[in-house]
Amino acid sequence: MPERLTLGRPEIEEILPHRDVSLFLDKVEVDGEHTTGYMRVRVDQSPGFPILPGALQIEMVAQTLGIASRSLLPEHHIGLFGGVGNCEFINRTILPGDIVRAEVEITRKRTNSIKGSGRVFKENQLIGEVNDIIVLIVKTPTSPSPQ
């Protein structure tokens, strides 16, 4: 039976390149083939209008899928957002302080990409679905050698 792994922001930052306000995930749970990301909605994410925009839901799913796909990447490679299709969002009031979660699954792996899907929830209410999200597998850039 696979062990459940819980990652906080410091561990997430070791995997993803996102920092500060562009890192939406506060915690990620990896349990075998199931990966769930959690985000506490901040005041600065949608000032004046308490709906978590679909674009931020897509990014949250993409970041969670990035964590889920990390173990499938070859050494010296990174996963980058490559595209998305077939999204649907349900208008639910999302207020600063609310915690939303993204549940993702990998649906296909190829040599140069990983495809997945995700669902976003507030409490147990579905607020968004993101299908056909692509993670491109690219070689990490090497640092120039010191002279």
pLDDT at 127: 93
In sequence order, the β-bridge partners of residue 80 are 136
pLDDT at 104 over 60: yes
pLDDT at 101: 97
pLDDT at 144: 56
Amino acid at 100: V
pLDDT at 30: 93
pLDDT at 52: 78
DSSP percent split of the chain into helix, strand, coil, nearest 5:
20, 45, 35
Three-state DSSP class for residue 146: coil
| Mean local confidence (pLDDT), 47-58 | 80
**Residue 60 has which token pair?**
């949250």
Q: Structural domains in the chain?
A: 4-139 (3.10.129.10)
pLDDT at 120 over 80: yes
pLDDT at 130 over 60: yes
**Residue 86 has which token pair?**
């077939």
Task: Give the Cα separation of 106 and 114 in Å (integer).
Answer: 7
Give me the phi and psi of 7, to 5 degrees please. Answer: -110, 135
Residues of the chain with pLDDT > 70: what percent?
93
The model's pLDDT over 16-48, given as tens digits with 9 standing for 90+, comes to: 888 888 899 999 999 878 999 999 988 776 667
